[in-house]
Structure 1
Amino acid sequence: MLRAKKKLSLIFLCVIFGIVLIDLCQKSISAVTIYVITPTFYRISQKPDLVRLCNTFKLVDNMHWIVVEDSLVRTALVSRFLNECSVPSTHLNAASPKDRKKYHIKGSNQRNAGIEWLRKHRVSRYHKGVVYFADDDNTYDPRLFNEMRTLNMGATWPVGIVGGSSWEGCITAPDDPNRIIGFWTGYKPFRRFPIDMAAFAINLDLLFIYPNASFDYKHVEQQEGALLSQLGFKSAMDLEPRAEGCSKILVWHTKTYNPSIPLSRPNQPKIADFL
């Protein structure tokens, strides 16, 4: 009888220990901050696009949204919007090069501004974070951010509606969902990094291990690889597969239609008055 009681006590203690351990692990994972860097520029659909993102990001725990305007100054429109959005955020601005015909790359200055802000404002070297670059008109399933929260150095997943295809991204081994064996892509499939900007996230530590890593205006349509190669990755095969072994699409490279607006009536208030 005494032995039975001791066994029951031991089992009870093991169960309690297991519950505490699981709780600690969950708290450790949730303590990782997701830093989302979003370049944005003015057009009539800018605010609705940002509202859509805000509604998604509200569903994600421990996120910090860095919104960087392609502008010489921070605009009142975006400032008011971020004040109304309950997601913790930082508002920056960085203008793109004036010669748009010479530079066929968008968002590099804005993403670099976000990266530099992170380098200057890290809470401590023990603070854990993940960095993700999110366009302001893409569509994101909130589950994507939990997928990236547990990455080691860098992770990748498929993206829908990209590169003239219904999807592009990583492919894992049939018998091992944790091993990438290739990438499905239409544009230059033999690139070392055949992935979209929405298809990867990195450990915040890498921005400090490689303090000069940044985007540029030289590698047209290869900005992803330009950055990742500076962060110590030899190819996209080094990234960790996520989204159930690259079997789920949790982000779509959508584009908001830019409507053709007819001339307004003389006395009609401008849409900016409502923003």
Structure 2
Amino acid sequence: MARRNAGAMQREGSVKDWSEFDTLPSPKLAYSQSYVAMRGLLTSVASLDPLLVSSSLKSAWAAISSHRHSRSLERPKAKWMNWKRAMFRLLVCFLVGIFIGFTPLFSLDLSKKIASENERLPFDGDVVDRQMLELRSTKLEPFAAEAEATEELQVDESPPVPAMLDDEADFIEASHVDPPVNDSVIVVRKQLIIVTSTSVRPHQAYYLNRLAHVLKNVPPPLLWIVAEWPYQSRETAEILRSSGVMYRHLICNRNTTNIRKIIVCQKNNAIFHTKKHRLDGIVHFADEERAYSVDLFEEMRKIRRFGTWPVAIHVGAKYRVVLEGPLCRGNQVTGWHANQRRGVPRRFPIGFSGFAFNSTILWDPQRWNSPTLESIILHSGGRGGLQESRFIEKLVEDESQMEGLADNCTRIMVWNFDLEPPQLNYPTGWLLQKNLDAVVPIT
């Protein structure tokens, strides 16, 4: 009995001694400490607070380190299991943090969120979820109304305009304000193609400048084709550049001294230029010696095929005035004023300065029901107005295809003055090289 009690006492003593020297915490206590640390870590990660996350990580690491130190005396197998368990928990925490970091924030569109929650209802009989959604919507209605009011204010309200000073108001009142452009007021005009033949002579600059000032006052579009013989002189080029009129400078380099052949060459070059480039407009051969009224060029824009008007001519030593051109009833040509020369019968007794025609007759015969495109050019043969009459015969068949202009052929808008002086030497570049000595010197 004593031996049994001694054995029992020895077993109790040994157990007591083992519990006294066993410094390791109980598994339940260790699990509770690690659970507390992990719960703090998850709470800090969910709240996205960097300070709490760092403090939780520190506490977790301290718990793990203390747990490692406390279990240092355990068996190697138990020590490895505890270390593996801690690493697994740390890995779980790391994955949870990554998942929370990559999860997008909640949507700000509350109405869409509520609608999506309504769509996710498991069934219509779920009264509790429906009541919760209705409660959320009623709570969010004031915020939605406030957001709509804010958007309306941003759209409708304009920024306040600062008050102007007196000087600024006076400046605005004094400044010119262009009226708005009305498309219905814009007038579409036909293009005018004015052909002028010129040559180097004493009165060339006077004639060209006078005609240039007239054409400058004609409303555009207007193209001035100037054909010069025998070359493009510097003086003519300067006059054309300073005229303010759109122009094209052509030349006729035909080696001849016959004035009639030179003029025919110049006009034919202009006709070829119109055909080649298919210029669409009203063609008129404006001689530089003629005096034109600006209103005549506006009358030319009324022409559909061929238009004509009367011309006043000064003839004889006493400058007697003679009319040359059509007689009209309305705009229909019924007769002619003829300055008929002896022995020269003409079908159409009119000069170049008394008619104009549509340029499409030269290069578009189908428009005018012409079977073939004839060579509509001038010929040097023919005197006393035959050259003009033969050219007109290629453009029209008779007077029924003509249009009388200038107030039914009653106004004179072109004057033919014979002011050409006798043969004079043309000073090159308008410079005099001789007779520069003073007749009355200053002493």
Q: TM-score range by the shorter chain?
A: 0.7 to 0.9
**Normalising by structure 1, what TM-score?**
0.77
Q: Distance in 2 between matches of 1:255 and 1:96?
A: 26
Q: Name the structure 2 match of 1:41.
A: 199
Q: Distance in 2 between matches of 1:42 and 1:78?
A: 9
Q: Distance in 1 between matches of 2:224 and 2:296?
A: 15
Q: Name the structure 1 match of 2:332.
A: 179
1:162 and 1:97, CA in 2 relative to 1: closer, same or farther beyond 3 A?
farther
Report whether the alignment pairs 1:247 with 2:410.
yes
Report whether the alignment pairs 1:194 with 2:194.
no
> For the aligned residues, what is the CA RMSD?
2.8
Q: Name the structure 1 match of 2:271.
A: 115
**Greater strand share, structure number:** 1
Query: SS where residue 145 of structure 1 aligns?
Result: helix
Residue 388 of structure 2 aligns with an amino acid whose one-letter code is E
Match for residue 386 of structure 2 among 200, 222, 227: 222
Report whether the alignment pairs 1:145 with 2:302.
no
Contiguous gaps of at least 5 residues in structure 2: 1-181, 366-372, 438-443
Aligned 8 A contact 1:35 1:65 in 2: yes
Query: SS where residue 107 of structure 1 aligns?
Result: helix
Residue 407 of structure 2 aligns with an amino acid whose one-letter code is E
Q: Name the structure 2 match of 1:8.
A: none
Cα offset for 1:95? 3.7
With 204-213 and 153-162 compared, the bigger mean Cα shift is at: 204-213
Query: SS where residue 256 of structure 1 aligns?
Result: coil
Q: Distance in 2 between matches of 1:197 and 1:238?
A: 18
Q: Name the structure 1 match of 2:208.
A: 50
What are the superposed Cα offsets for residues 132-185 of structure 1, whole Å, 9 maximum, x if unpaired?
001111100011011111111000000011676522111113xxx222110011
Report whether the alignment pairs 1:268 with 2:436.
yes
Q: Distance in 1 between matches of 2:380 and 2:191?
A: 29
Q: Distance in 1 between matches of 2:297 and 2:198?
A: 20
Q: Name the structure 1 match of 2:281.
A: 129
Aligned 8 A contact 1:60 1:142 in 2: yes
Q: Distance in 2 between matches of 1:180 and 1:34?
A: 23
Contiguous gaps of at least 5 residues in structure 1: 1-18, 270-275
Residue 178 of structure 1 aligns with an amino acid whose one-letter code is N
Aligned 8 A contact 2:309 2:409 in 1: yes
Query: SS where residue 270 of structure 2 aligns?
Result: helix
**Greater helix share, structure number:** 2
Aligned 8 A contact 1:194 1:236 in 2: no
Larger RCO, structure (CA 8 Å, separation 6 or more): 1
Q: Name the structure 1 match of 2:107.
A: none
**Normalising by structure 2, what TM-score?**
0.49
Residue 111 of structure 1 aligns with an amino acid whose one-letter code is K
Q: Distance in 1 between matches of 2:206 and 2:382?
A: 31
* % identical equivalent positions: 27
Cα offset for 1:260? 7.6
Cα offset for 1:119? 1.3
Q: Distance in 2 between matches of 1:198 and 1:212?
A: 22
What are the superposed Cα offsets for residues 31-74 of structure 1, whole Å, 9 maximum, x if unpaired?
x1100000001111100110000000001121110000121x21
Cα offset for 1:88? 0.5
Q: Distance in 1 between matches of 2:309 and 2:410?
A: 8
Deviating 4+ runs (over 4 angstroms) = 103-106, 162-165, 259-265
Aligned 8 A contact 2:322 2:339 in 1: no
Residue 166 of structure 1 aligns with an amino acid whose one-letter code is V
Q: Name the structure 2 match of 1:203.
A: 358
Aligned 8 A contact 1:112 1:215 in 2: yes
Q: Distance in 2 between matches of 1:95 and 1:70?
A: 6
Cα offset for 1:105? 5.4
Aligned 8 A contact 1:182 1:237 in 2: no
Aligned 8 A contact 1:163 1:185 in 2: no
Q: Distance in 2 between matches of 1:190 and 1:256?
A: 27
With 136-145 and 177-186 compared, the bigger mean Cα shift is at: 177-186
Query: SS where residue 44 of structure 1 aligns?
Result: coil
Match for residue 227 of structure 2 among 68, 90, 93: 68
Query: SS where residue 388 of structure 2 aligns?
Result: helix
Aligned 8 A contact 2:309 2:406 in 1: yes
1:265 and 1:253, CA in 2 relative to 1: closer, same or farther beyond 3 A?
same
Q: Distance in 2 between matches of 1:118 and 1:88?
A: 15
Residue 291 of structure 2 aligns with an amino acid whose one-letter code is T
- Structure ID, larger Rg: 2
